[in-house]
Chain A
Amino acid sequence: MKKEGKQLSVSAIKNGTVIDHIPAKNLFKVISILGLDKFDNQITFGTNLDSKKLGKKAIIKVTEKSFIDDDLNRIALIAPEAKLNIIKDYEVVEKYSAKLPEEIIGIAKCVNPKCITNNENVTTRFLVLSDNNIALKCHYCEKITDQEHMEIQ
Chain B
Amino acid sequence: MKYKSLVSINDYSKKEILRILDLAAEFEEHPQPQLLNGKVVATLFYEPSTRTRLSFESAVNRLGGRVFGFTDSSSSSVTKGETIKDTIKTVSNYCDLIVIRHPLEGSALYASEEATVPVINAGDGANQHPTQTLLDLYSIKKTQGTLEDLNIFLVGDLKYGRTVHSLLMAMSHFNTTFNFISPKELNMPDEYKLHLDKLGLKYYEHLDFTEIISRADIVYMTRVQKERFSDPMEYEKVKNVYVLKNSMLENTKSNMKVLHPLPRVNEIHTDVDKNKKAYYFTQALNGVYARQAIIASILGLK
**A residues at B contact (CB < 8 Å):** 112, 114-117, 119-122, 138-144
Contacts and interface: CB of A to CB of B under 8 A. Distances in A.
Given A114-B126, A116-B104, A116-B106, 6 more contacts: A114-B104, A115-B105, A120-B84, A140-B109, A140-B110, A141-B125
A141 B105 contact: yes
B159 interface: no
A40 B105 CA distance: 41
B275 to A, nearest CB: 37
13 contacts: A114-B104, A114-B105, A116-B107, A116-B124, A119-B104, A122-B110, A138-B106, A139-B109, A140-B106, A141-B105, A142-B127, A143-B105, A144-B191
Interface string B104-121: 111101100000000000
Interface of B: 8, 83-85, 103-107, 109-110, 124-128, 191
A115 B106 CA distance: 6
A138 B109 CA distance: 11
B127 A141 contact: yes
Contacts, number: 48
A115 B191 CA distance: 19
Contacts of B85: 120-121
Contact of B125 (A114, A117, A120, A138): A114
Contacts of B105: 112, 114-116, 140-143
A120 B127 contact: no
A9 B87 CA distance: 55
A28 B61 CA distance: 58
B195 to A, nearest CB: 13
Name, among B83, B104, B106, B125, the residue most crowded by chain A CB atoms within 10 Å (CB to CB).
B106
A116 to B, nearest CB: 4
A120 B110 contact: yes
A122 to B, nearest CB: 6
Given A114-B125, A114-B126, A142 B83 contact: no
A115 B8 contact: no
B5 to A, nearest CB: 14
A11 B233 CA distance: 65
Nearest to B107: A116
A14 B278 CA distance: 80
Contacts of A119: 104
B103 A114 contact: yes
A143 to B, nearest CB: 7
A142 B85 CA distance: 20
B254 to A, nearest CB: 38
Given A114-B126, A141-B127, A142-B8, A120 B83 contact: yes
A34 to B, nearest CB: 27
Contacts of B110: 116, 120, 122, 140
Nearest to B125: A114
Contacts of A141: 105-106, 124-125, 127
Contacts of A142: 8, 105-106, 127-128
B57 to A, nearest CB: 25
Contacts of B125: 114, 141
Nearest to A122: B110
B2 to A, nearest CB: 19
Contacts of B128: 142
